[in-house]
Structure formats: structure tokens, C-alpha cells
């Protein structure tokens, strides 16, 4: 996404909230058949996605893919009016190619499964909306992009941050030059997953905190800086080596990035610490800070530029953002548009992540 795309997205999002209801009704296009989505894997991400699509005029849940067809499958099929014949398992996944009501797949699986089900889904004629991170290596990302291109299917990353009103406000402040010329970023995302989580396995998580948490400040900085990092330093460490959670993956990563323009960034992530998730942006005339920065609700923007103070608390519209993502992708499918966050954006994240691991002397497996 470039600055022009991001600005257009922000303008449309604001304008959509200001059109009088009567005028909006008169301007509304003729109803069209909703684009049918099939969530693959019914975890927390897919559950939120299904709730977000409920009631949408352009995106609907048309099928399910789950390892628990008789429990979760039946439960969500009844909730969203999905026929039992459209409940698929991983063993019967190939049959989804014969379901004309399914136009696209929402990949809400563990990271290590994204590549397989994206490639298979594209081969079955379905467009792909994939959760972050795109995959567990840049090589897998390229396989996914090539598979979708070969089948003439669209591939979009389900990034929430560009659709969040508070992040859009931060972008507008930066783009307007209110804090002057950008100088640096600082970001942190800490978490503490419980033992047994797939995120703590090499096969499904793909790595430790960098892929599950650190990717958020990384991608957020990339969006706001509007350029790709070129130089990296990093350290990878596991403080609690006896903790069984870290038998396969690292606990913490600290890294720095330098951009071609001279902007620098200092970031951290961990799977064994508690603390606030934040991103701060520093210019030569002011700064802004996003607290609870990578959540789908309650993001708090503060800062100052000269005598102007910023203080805005997000309204918590995570499901609205997911609905906007689904509806944007539906329109891309319907009209042949390029998604605002195509698969190439996910690839850039993984290229940077691999550079971070390489800088730490701990290449990602």
C-alpha cells in the first residue's frame, strides 16, 4: 500500500460515516449476490471474521472447513444458515472446489498451514484472504503468490491496522507533516502464550515471538514509514531456558532497522514478558504514540506537535474493520481490482523477519 492508497482508504472510511442515510439509500447500487467466504479453521480469528460478515450485503459465510464438523461445524452452520453439506473437514477439503457458493477462502489457520491451504484453495478456483503472518518463510510466501497468479485468483492479507480509524489518524498526522520530518520509531509487543499453544511449536508457529507478536510493530512501521528497511541488527534470547514453552522457539527478540531515508527504528517482542504494546513515532517537530497499539479495540493515540496536543481513544471497532476488509476483498473479486494489501505485502514482512533472524545469527528454520 502506498500513501495515495492509504489516503484514499482513509477518506472513504470517513466519508462513509458522514453520508446522510436517505442520500446513501438513493445512491446505493442495485443489490448483488454476496461473495461467499469459507473460513478454513474455526479458531478465534475465524470466529471474529464470521461475526464481522454477519449482516453484510456483499460478504457472507457460505461454508466451513474444520477438524470438528460435528461440534464446531454444526454450531456455526446453524448460526449462519450454512447447509450441512457445506461443512468440510481437512480430509474432504478438496470437495470445496465443487461448491459454486464459495468464492473465497479465509485462511485463519496456524501460520505453518497457510501455504498449503492457500495453494490448494487457489487450485480449487477460490480467491484467498489470509491472516498475518502470511506464512513461515519468504519462500512459502512466493509459492502462495505464484499459485494464486497461475490460477488467476486474488490474494489479500487481512491486515487490520490500515483500516483502524486511530491508525488512519496517525497516518494523517504524519502525512500532513504535523510532526515534521520522520526521524525514528520505537515499538514493542509482549505476550505470554500458555504451554501447549501451537504458537510455541516450530511446525505451526514457524518461530517464536517475532512471527506472533513482533510482526505487528514491524508491519505497522512499514506502513507509516512508506519505505522498506534496508539494514538490521538483532539479538534473540531465551531468559527462561528451563521453561518447556521455549523448547522449540525463542522467547524474546530485540532489533533495530534503518531505512534508506535515514529513519531508524528500535523494536522488541517477547513470549515471556508482560507490558504495554506500543508504537511511538518521532519527528523533528513532534511525536505521536499509540498505546494498546495492535489491538482491535481501545487504541490510544497521544502526542504533541508544537502547541498542538493529540489525545484520541479508539472506539473499539474490531469487527467493523474485519467487515471492511471482507467487503473490500469482495469488491476486488467482483470488479477485478487489486487489493490494497496484496500478498506482496505479506512477503515483505517475511523478508524483513528473515533479515532480523539472520542479523541475530539465528536464521529462521
Count Cα neighbours of 107 within 13 Å in the Cβ-side half-sphere. 30
Residue 198: name the closest of 212, 185, 187 by CA: 212
Residue 349: name the closest of 235, 144, 210 by CA: 210
Whole-number pLDDT of residue 163? 92
pTM of the model: 0.90
List every span in the chain annotated with CATH 3.40.50.720. Answer: 31-159+321-340
List every span in the chain annotated with CATH 3.30.360.10. Answer: 165-315
Cis? peptide before 133, omega within 30° of 0: yes
Distance CA 298, CA 312 (A): 10
What cell was used for 306? 508544537
Whole-number pLDDT of residue 342? 98
Q: In the 8-state DSSP scheme, what is residue 342?
A: B
Q: In what order do the strands lie in the sheet with 182-190?
A: 231-237, 252-258, 264-270, 182-190, 278-283, 286-291, 300-305, 308-313
For residues 101 and 85, the answer to whether their CB atoms sit within 8 Å is no
Which CATH class name applies to 165-315? alpha beta
Tens digit of each residue's pLDDT (9 = 90 or more) over 39-60:
999 999 999 999 999 989 999 9
**Superfamily of the domain at 31-159+321-340:** NAD(P)-binding Rossmann-like Domain (3.40.50.720)
For residues 265 and 257, the answer to whether their CB atoms sit within 8 Å is yes
For residues 143 and 117, the answer to whether their CB atoms sit within 8 Å is no
In order along its 365 residues, the chain shows pLDDT tens digits of 454 554 444 444 444 434 444 444 444 455 689 999 999 999 999 999 999 999 899 999 999 999 999 999 999 999 999 999 999 999 999 999 999 999 999 999 999 999 999 999 999 999 999 999 999 999 999 999 999 999 999 999 999 999 999 999 999 999 999 999 999 999 999 999 999 999 999 999 998 999 999 999 999 999 999 999 999 999 999 998 889 999 999 999 999 999 999 999 999 999 999 899 999 999 999 999 999 999 888 899 999 998 889 998 886 666 789 999 999 999 999 999 999 999 999 999 999 999 999 999 986 64
Amino acid at each position: 500500500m502506498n500513501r495515495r492508497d492509504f489516503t484514499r482508504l482513509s477518506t472513504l472510511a470517513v466519508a462513509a460515516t458522514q453520508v446522510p442515510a436517505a442520500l446513501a439509500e438513493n445512491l446505493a447500487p442495485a443489490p448483488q449476490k454476496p461473495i461467499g467466504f469459507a473460513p478454513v479453521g474455526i479458531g478465534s480469528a475465524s470466529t471474529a471474521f464470521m461475526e464481522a460478515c454477519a449482516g453484510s450485503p456483499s460478504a457472507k459465510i457460505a461454508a466451513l472447513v474444520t477438524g470438528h464438523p460435528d461440534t464446531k461445524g454444526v454450531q456455526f452452520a446453524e448460526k449462519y444458515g450454512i447447509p450441512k453439506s457445506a461443512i468440510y473437514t481437512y480430509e474432504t477439503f478438496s470437495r470445496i472446489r465443487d461448491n459454486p457458493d464459495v468464492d473465497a477462502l479465509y485462511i485463519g489457520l496456524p501460520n505453518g498451514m497457510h501455504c498449503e491451504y492457500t495453494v490448494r484453495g487457489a487450485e480449487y478456483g477460490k480467491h484467498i484472504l489470509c491472516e498475518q503472518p502470511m506464512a513461515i518463510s519468504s519462500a512459502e510466501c512466493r509459492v502462495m503468490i505464484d499459485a494464486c497468479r497461475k490460477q488467476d485468483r486474488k490474494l489479500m492479507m487481512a491486515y487490520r491496522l490500515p483500516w483502524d480509524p486511530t491508525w488512519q489518524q496517525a497516518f494523517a498526522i504524519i502525512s500532513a507533516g504535523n510532526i515534521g520530518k520522520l526521524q525514528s520509531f520505537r515499538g514493542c509487543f509482549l505476550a505470554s502464550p500458555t504451554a501447549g499453544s501451537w504458537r510455541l511449536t516450530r511446525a505451526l508457529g514457524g518461530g517464536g515471538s517475532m512471527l506472533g507478536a513482533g510482526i505487528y510493530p514491524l508491519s505497522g512501521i512499514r506502513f507509516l514509514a512508506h519505505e522498506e528497511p534496508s539494514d538490521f541488527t538483532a539479538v534473540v534470547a531465551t531468559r527462561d531456558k528451563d521453561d518447556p514453552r521455549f523448547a522449540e522457539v525463542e522467547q524474546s527478540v530485540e532489533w533495530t532497522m534503518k531505512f534508506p531515508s535515514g529513519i531508524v527504528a528500535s523494536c522488541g517482542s517477547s513470549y515471556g514478558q508482560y507490558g504495554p504494546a506500543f508504537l511511538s513515532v518521532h519527528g523533528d517537530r513532534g511525536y505521536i504514540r499509540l498505546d494498546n497499539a495492535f489491538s482491535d479495540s481501545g487504541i490510544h493515540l497521544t502526542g504533541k506537535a508544537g502547541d498542538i496536543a493529540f489525545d484520541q481513544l479508539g472506539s473499539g471497532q474490531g469487527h467493523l474493520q474485519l467487515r471492511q476488509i471482507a467487503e473490500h476483498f469482495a469488491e476486488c473479486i467482483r470488479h477485478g481490482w487489486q487489493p490494497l494489501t496484496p500478498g506482496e505485502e505479506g512477503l515483505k514482512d517475511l523478508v524483513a523477519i528473515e533479515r532480523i533472524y539472520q542479523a541475530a545469527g539465528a536464521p529462521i528454520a
